[in-house]
Amino acid sequence: MNEFIEVMEDYRGTRGGMYWYVVENNLFRHISKYAISKESSHSTVYWKVPLENIRGKSLIEISFSNSGYGYVSEFEPEAFLNSEHRGWPNFEERKWMGSIAEALERFPEYMFEIDEWSRDGRKLKQLVDQFRNVLSRMVEDVNNYSKKLGFKIFFSEHAIRTEEAFEEGIEVSLFACLSNPRMKSRIRALKNVRKWIYQLWVLKLLTSFPP
């Protein structure tokens, strides 16, 4: 007899959103890849998943507070069998929980699955590479400059992903932006952070020249 679990997601971006991934070695693969049906109501989605498809694998919940701070939890699939609430795991069976920065330590070689065969997938992959190879150096450059002159950059609550890049590292911001499984949402989030990093870096260049 086949057993099924229901997994609930809340598509509210990185302010109140909640998303689920299955860990395949170091790959974070979205729960939809294992589901046989989907039920949607407003921002809420329920995925029906055969337990056999994910047995023995870890499930990762990435959730965000309404103010935008991210948290990561790890469960076994069977935690959903023992829950009293539809689509939720039994939180008493949670294996681990921490911040995004702590999750990066727990999964140091993680990769979100990206469909590079699609046009948006290729665009997203280019953005991820740009974050790691170019924007990370811009962030480091600005941070070094601010330390040298003894000032601190203030970020409003509307720029929390950019704040993460400067305060916690580019990988934390990248993880948060990629947590939303919708391709266009990922691209939009990364482009917004890129815009602010570039503007701060240009401002640093302009102020570093003597009058």
Q: Please, are residues 114 and 121 in contact by the beta-carbon 8 Å criterion?
A: yes
Stated pTM of the model: 0.94
Integer Cα distance of 173 and 81 in angstroms: 33
User: What per-residue confidence (pLDDT) applies to 157?
Assistant: 74
pLDDT at 207: 85
Quick one: which of 33, 118, 31, 128 has its CA closest to 77?
Answer: 31
For residue 210, the model assigns a pLDDT of: 61
Per-residue confidence in pLDDT tens, the chain, 211 aa = 679 999 999 999 999 999 999 999 889 999 999 999 999 999 999 999 999 999 999 999 999 999 999 999 999 999 999 898 999 999 999 999 999 999 999 999 999 999 888 999 999 999 999 999 999 999 999 999 999 988 888 887 778 999 999 999 999 999 999 999 999 999 999 999 999 999 999 999 988 766 5
pLDDT at res. 1: 61
Query: Can you give the pLDDT at residue 59?
Result: 98
Beta-bridge mates of residue 97:
73
Residue 139: CA atoms inside 13 Å, Cβ hemisphere, count? 26
Q: What is the DSSP string of 3-30?
A: -EEEEEEE--TTSS-EEEEEEETTEEEE
